[in-house]
Amino acid sequence: MNIAVKGNLEEARDAAYALPLDQVNPAQGILFQTDTMWPYFERLRKEDPVHYTADSEFGPYWSITKYNDIMAVDTNHQVFSSDFSHGGITIGGGQANFEPLPMFIAMDPPRHDIQRKVVTPVVSPANLEYLGPIIRERAGKILDSLPIGEPFDWVDKVSIELTTMTLATLFDFPFEERRKLTYWSDVVTAVPGHGIIDTFDQKLAVLQEYHAYFTELWNQRVNASEVKGDLISMLAHNPATRNMEPREYFGNIVLLTVGGNDTTRNTITGSVLALNQNPDQYRKLRENPALIPSMVSETIRWQTPLAHMRRTALCDYEFQGKHIKKGDKVVMWYVSGNRDEEVIERPNDYIVDRENPRRHISFGFGIHRCVGNRLAELQLQIIWEEIFKRFPAIEQVAEPKRTYSTFVKGYEHFHVVIPKRN
Amino acid sequence: MPKIKYIEHSGKEHEVEVPAGWSVMEGAVKNLIPGIDADCGGACACATCHVFVDPAFEAKIPPKSDMEETMLDFAPEIAPNSRLSCQIKVAPELDGLIVRMPKSQH
C-alpha cells in the first residue's frame, strides 16, 4: 500500500512565519503534496494579500490570496489576460518546456466566447437530464462491485471509474479504452520526476500518441453521415471550429479531458476524506441525506480541486496599493480564497449544512467560469445517493497520497475499507 | 414598498415587498424564494440569478451592461427578456414587476 507523508502542520506554520515576508513562495509542489501550504496562505491573507514573489521555480509572480480580490481579477479580463500567447492559465505556462496549447480557457474574447459556446450544449439542462440516469446506473454497478471488509483504493475503483465513464460518454470515446483518457489527463498535468512521468521527452511522446488518437476520432466524426451530439462532433461540425488548426483542436480536447476528469475525480475522493476527518458531519449527513447537495458544494469549496488560475497583466495596473506591471504573472489562489475568513465563516471547518455553501470560488467567476459545474455536482450528488443506499460507512485506512502539483489539488491514492453493506 | 412577483419554473408564485435599492436577486434570496442561486453574491460574475422579465416591464429597466450581456450569453435557455436579477435595482416604478425563473441556474 502506498502511504504518503503528511507534513506536520505546526512545523509548517513555524516555517511559514519565520520567513522574511518577501521570501514567502507558496508555489511549491511539495507543500501541496504534504498538505502544508495552508499557513503560507494564511500569513499572506493577513500580512500581504497581494504578494510579489521575486524568485521561484516559475519565475517572479504575484499571489492574489483573498476571495474578493480574486473575484476582482477574475472578472477583469480586459486587464488580466488568459491568452496562451502570454502563458495561459497555469503558473508554469510559457516557461521552457511548456508552451501552452491554444484552447478556449486560454483565450481572451472574442475568440474565447465563440469557441466556448460551441461546446456548452454538452452540459445543457436537457443533456444533464439525459446523463443523470446513465451516471446513476454506472455508479450503482461500480459500488456493487466493491470489496467488503478489505482495503482498496477509492481513487482507482470509484473516483476515476465514474468520472472517466462520464467523460468517455461526452466524447463518445471507445468505451473499453476509456482509461487512456485518465492516463492522458494525468500525463498532461504531471510534473516530470514527480509521478507518472520522468522526463519532458517522455511526456511529449505520450501527448503525441494522445493527439494522434483524437485526430483519428476527428476524421471519423467529420466524415460521418449522421452528426451526433458528442464533443468531437460538435467541434468538427460547427462553422466556428471546424477549420481549427490541429494544434488548436488538440488544445481544446486537452482542456475538456482535464476539466472533465481530474476535478470531479478529486472532489469525489475529497468528499470521502472530509467526511472521515469530520465524523460528526458524516453522521449529520447520514441522518439527513437531503443535505447531499449542500455537502457537495461544501466539498467543492473544501477541496478546491484546481488550486489556482493564472493571468498575465496586459498593462501596468494599480491593485490594492500594489503596482502590477505589464507582462507580470498574476496567480489567483482559489485554494486560499476559499479559506478567506472575511467572506466565509469558519472557513477551515467542513460543515455539510453551511448557511451559504454555494459561496465558493472553486469554479472561478467571470467569462471563464467552469462550464461543467453542474455536471460535476450531478456526479457527486448521484454517487452519494447511491452510497447511502448501500453502505453505512466508508472508512479511511491511511492518509491519502496527494498530487505533487501547484495546480491540480488532488489524490493519487486513497485507501479505504467498507466494513459492511446496509 | 414595491411589490415583486417571482414565479418559479413550476408555476408557483411568490409575491413579496422588496425595499427600493435592493436588487431583484436580493429580494428573492432574502425572502428564501427558491430558484435563484446567486453564486457570486451579486457581482455580475456568474449567471445563476437568471430570470425572464415580464415584457411589460422590460422598458422600465436600464439596459444590460457589457458584462451582464456576456455572462447571459454563456447561460443556457436565454430569451430576449433574460436578465441577471442581481443587476436589476428595485425602484418605485418597478412596483408590480413579474419575473419568471428558468428551469435551472447554470
- Write the pLDDT tens digit of every residue in A190-245: 989 988 999 999 999 999 999 999 999 999 999 998 889 999 999 999 999 999 99
On whether the CB atoms of residues B74 and A115 are closer than 8 A, the answer is: no
- A vs B, Cβ pairs < 8 A, gives 48
Specify the pLDDT at position A203: 93
pLDDT digits (tens, 9 = 90+) for A34-64: 999 999 999 999 999 999 999 999 999 999 9
- The strand pair at B3-7 and B97-100 is best described as parallel
CB within 8 Å of A352: residues ≥ 6 apart: A281, A284, A285, A291, A294, A295, A298
Distance CA A137, CA A130 (A): 12
Distance CA A23, CA A192 (A): 25
Closest approach of chain A CAs to the CA of B30, in angstroms?
Answer: 12
Is the whole-model pTM more than 0.80? yes
Distance CA B97, CA B106 (A): 23
> DSSP assignment, residue A193?
T
On whether the CB atoms of residues A250 and A101 are closer than 8 A, the answer is: yes
Question: Phi/psi at A63 (nearest 5 deg)?
Answer: -110, 125
Residues A113, B74: C-beta atoms closer than 8 Å: yes
Residues B71, A367: C-beta atoms closer than 8 Å: yes
Q: Whose CA is closest to A99, among A87, A89, A112?
A: A87
Which residues of chain A, if any, have pLDDT below 50? 1-4
Residue at grid coordinates 511522446: A205
Specify the pLDDT at position A96: 78
Q: Which chain B residues have a beta carbon less than 8 Å from that of A117?
A: 73-74
Which residue of B25, B40, B69 to mutate against A (max A Cβ within 10 Å)? B40
Specify the pLDDT at position A99: 84
Specify the pLDDT at position A6: 72
The secondary structure of A335-387, three-state, reads HHHCCCCCCCCCCCCCCCCCCCCCCCCCCCCCCCCCCCHHHHHHHHHHHHHHH
SS3 content of chain A, % helix, strand, coil (to 5): 50, 10, 40
Q: Of the candidates A125, A365, A374, which has its C-beta nearest B45's C-beta? A: A365
Amino acid, single-letter form, for residue A99: E
Joined grid coordinates for residue A328: 507580470
Specify the pLDDT at position A3: 37
CB within 8 Å of A44: residues ≥ 6 apart: A24, A26, A51, A63, A65, A336
Chain B residues with a Cβ under 8 Å from any Cβ in chain A: 37, 39-41, 43-46, 48, 67, 70-71, 73-74, 76-77, 103-104, 106
* Residue in B closest to A121 by C-alpha: B76
Q: Of the candidates A120, A125, A363, which has its C-beta nearest B104's C-beta? A: A125
On whether the CB atoms of residues A3 and A412 are closer than 8 A, the answer is: no
Amino acid, single-letter form, for residue A11: E
Specify the pLDDT at position A5: 55
Distance CA A47, CA A68 (A): 16
Which residue of B37, B46, B65 to mutate against A (max A Cβ within 10 Å)? B46
On whether the CB atoms of residues A303 and A362 are closer than 8 A, the answer is: yes
Residues A125, B44: C-beta atoms closer than 8 Å: no
> Any CB–CB contact under 8 A between A120 and chain B?
yes
Residues B76, A125: C-beta atoms closer than 8 Å: yes
Instruction: Give the neighbor-by-neighbor strand order of the sheet with A80-81.
Output: A50-53, A61-64, A329-333, A308-313, A80-81
**Has residue B98 got a pLDDT over 50?**
yes
Distance CA A23, CA A47 (A): 13
Distance CA A38, CA A388 (A): 32
Q: What CA–CA distances, in Å, run from A156 to A131, A145, A176, A190, A412?
A: 22, 13, 16, 17, 8
- Distance in Å from the first CA to the final CA of chain B: 31
> Any CB–CB contact under 8 A between A127 and chain B?
no
